[in-house]
Structure 1
């Protein structure tokens, strides 16, 4: 019996779902983190910032706000990755994400959350939902337009972005059903079943109920927001399939979706365009944002 789909061993699944081992340089991931920290420090000196705003009661429930120049600007919330466990990846490492958006007139909110195994994936999702609800309720206090709220994120943040898109904001939060107008999950994981068979399991400690509750492909609603599903063309076949299958499930429920494979991009470069106000990728996301609240 295969472990998952056609995969018989952990090694086969790790090759598909552990992006850093597909890069020849064994120190590549550490170099990527160091480069992002340097980019973040450069961006910190350029941008206005309200830091460490608590959206919830626990230590890690914090967010940073990077305001656009104009009052009542549209808002984008960015959710970073880290495979739900990597505490090295914090909001401070992603300040550079705000450079392109702020230059294009979009107030940017970057959130933090706790990681496994300190908390479960259920709690991570709850924290991200609490952050989105906080931003919606408090947008006017920092010059944002809550009626033009958009969410994006990469890797585990792509998964969490999808979880925000399937949230019952009216039933669970007593807010408008459409508080989010659109979303762009990037290099996301939408079926969590394979991860219990990978090197990740000791770190994330998923069980069957958690996997079913938090696999967005199993919970696609009707009358949902439009999605722009993106990934890099140099990613593994499983990352391709997860994105394509999730987008197809979104469409099957009558919802709008655009697919955007980024030519030549990999798991680590798929969000680089956010740092450049003139990048083709940011142009694509901005166009999707505008159409989602039109």
Structure 2
């Protein structure tokens, strides 16, 4: 889908505009199949199929502070994964402030369910950057959404958040309340660290060495909480990367994240 065909979203911040321009530059000429799982233009999935599929799938959610972003941003990631035999799917979702929690995570769940069915109904991986890492993690630690979508409880094979957000409650370190939370008492309900239900799926966590300090602290706390709940967890720090360049690592076949992520996924049963 062309960016100009989407309904307007919030104006980009200066850093957001730079990220948008770079993501689109990196993904230029990489074309996937455009599919819809809902009526809203943002409720779509871009599929990138490998020439030699190995049966494994990575569904990924873009960032953008819950108010910005397009599934097309993640096109730059696809070649590194399709070359390794993975079906790569980029899931879009409705954005705040027009759509507040739980609309975005409900969309992430519905988009994931669509990819799960399209790829054969076997467990698949989910990941995301920043806000997308938050939604991916929330789906991976909760068990109250699979049944209503008619998918298997073990549909998520593992979770790969990059620079994710895991906590919105008091002490989270956030400078302000994100608008996607709306006006209700939603901070804990939206926080993956406070929603761990039983033993979570395996996690492969990553963040930049120069990421936002509060997100580094959140990642450390989330790793500890997941391990306490019995999850298999690996966490890597991407040398020299900040919050945004950590995302670009997702498309670098010889970079600090892609080979490690593929190796980790290949070892998952």
The question of a shared fold, defined as TM-score above 0.5 by the shorter chain, is answered with yes
Change (3 A) 1:173 1:287: same
Indicate the structure whose relative CO is greater, using CA pairs within 8 Å and at least 6 residues apart: 1
Shift of 1:206: 3.2
> For this pair of structures, how many residues does the alignment match?
256
Contact 1:103/1:277 (<8 A) preserved: no
Please state if 1:50 is matched with 2:19. no
Judging by fraction of residues, say which structure has more helix.
1
Normalised by the length of structure 2, the TM-score is 0.87
Contact 1:99/1:274 (<8 A) preserved: no
Change (3 A) 1:54 1:29: closer
Normalised by the length of structure 1, the TM-score is 0.80
| Cα deviations by residue, 1:98-141 (Å, 9 ceiling, x for unpaired) | 1211111111100111111111120101000001111112214x
Q: Which of 135, 158, 179 does residue 115 from structure 2 map onto?
A: 135
Q: Which of 242, 255, 258 does residue 218 from structure 2 map onto?
A: 242
| Cα deviations by residue, 1:220-243 (Å, 9 ceiling, x for unpaired) | 122221001111111132111110
Q: Which residue in the other structure is 2:25 paired with?
A: 38
What stretches of structure 1 of length at least 5 have no aligned partner? 1-19, 21-25, 141-145
CA distance in 2, matches of 1:31, 1:116: 20
What stretches of structure 2 of length at least 5 have no aligned partner? 1-11
CA distance in 2, matches of 1:163, 1:155: 12
Larger Rg: 1
CA distance in 2, matches of 1:127, 1:147: 20
**Aligned runs of 1:113-192 on 2, under 5 Å?**
113-140=93-120, 146-168=121-143, 170-192=146-168
Shift of 1:97: 1.3
Query: Root-mean-square deviation (CA), in Å?
Result: 2.3
